[in-house]
Amino acid sequence: MILIEPINRLIFRDRAIKGERVKGKYFGGFCTCGGIMYQKSWFAEDGKLILVSECEKCWKNEAMVFNNNTPVGQKEEVKTIERPYLEDVLEELLSPSEFEAVMAKARGENYNPTAFSRAKKRLSDFNLDLDEILSYL
């Protein structure tokens, strides 16, 4: 699982799920380093809830899947993408021409509208909103 931090989206089964950030400090389990984990965001997908928690000591993020308030499976480590690395994610998801069109648009330069439209469609298929992403670039 991958958490795209700025837009609070969790990549789960090749799809981005919009999350709800937890306001406040709520216990989210114990980390393998011995630290306390606090709930960070909740995500809902196919009748399941996914909790992403962050360790106060080592900053590792882990996810736990719940079905009817019952944990399903083991905790899974979550790779977190911070704002400075958002471009890297786009570069992986898009073709070179689509990526260049998106970056040119973000810089306010002339861009290829056809490639930009394809990028928007590709990200939409992934359940990612390009306009929202552009606000962070």
Residues with Cβ within 8 Å of 10's Cβ and at least 6 positions away in sequence, in order, are 1, 2, 3, 4, 16, 17, 19, 41, 43, 50, 52, 63, 78
Share of the chain above pLDDT 70, in %: 100
Q: Say yes or no to pLDDT of 88 above 90.
A: yes
Overall average pLDDT of the 111-125 stretch: 96
Residue 9 and residue 73 in one domain? yes
Provide the pLDDT for residue 69. Answer: 81
15 within 8 A of 93, measured Cβ to Cβ: no
Please name the residue ranges forming H helices in the chain. 86-93, 96-106, 113-125, 130-134
Amino acid at 77: E
Residue 73 and residue 94 in one domain? no
Amino acid at 93: L
Please name the residue ranges forming H helices in 40-129. 86-93, 96-106, 113-125
Provide the pLDDT for residue 82. Answer: 93
Q: How far apart are CA 49 and CA 64, in angstroms?
A: 8
Share of the chain above pLDDT 90, in %: 87
Name the pLDDT band for 68 (thresholds 50, 70, 90): confident
> Within 10 Å of residue 45's Cβ, how many Cβ atoms?
14
Q: Say yes or no to pLDDT of 14 above 90.
A: no
Residue 55 and residue 116 in one domain? no
How many structural domains compose the chain?
2
Q: Round the average pLDDT of the chain to a whole number and report it.
A: 94
- Tell me the residue range of the domain where 121 lies: 84-134
Residue 67 and residue 13 in one domain? yes
